[in-house]
Amino acid sequence: MSERLQPGDTAPAFTLPDADGTEVSLADHKGRKTIVYFYPAALTPGCTKQACDFTDNLDVLASAGYDVIGVSPDEPAKLAKFRDKENLKVTLVGDPDKKVIEAYGAYGEKKNYGKTYMGVIRSTVVVDEDGKVERALYNVRAAGHVAKIIKDLGI
């Protein structure tokens, strides 16, 4: 199980391919606050709800100075299918080897229907303009999470 991030930690740098195979780096967002959220799999009900919520609130977040990046272990082709099917506007990047997911503490033991297994823990990390962790939220719920972030950030 990977170490969870704490406020004040330096957010781990990353460069990952987006749905079109274009490299996206956290460094590209320096000078802006960035919400990096981790979800288990594209095209699943909870992850779709969460991605649609971020898309629906993207203008509100952007006008408050926040960029949003969704990270999953999916390949770019699956991310493109997800984006196109759900008309998503949020930036989605793939981390098939889970190195970034692990670096952010978003991979570990999960329980579902009485079974224990290793997987992506639905998590959200808010990174400030200087690349420091402002907030790190783990085991979040897909439904209502974006509204809670907006409220907690005072947007």
Annotated active-site positions, please? 47
CA dihedral 133, 63, 54, 96 (to 10 degrees): -50
Q: What is the DSSP letter of 26?
A: G
* Burial degree of 51 (CB within 10 A; 0-12, 13-18, 19+): buried
User: CA-to-CA distance for 130 and 45, rounded, in angstroms?
Assistant: 34
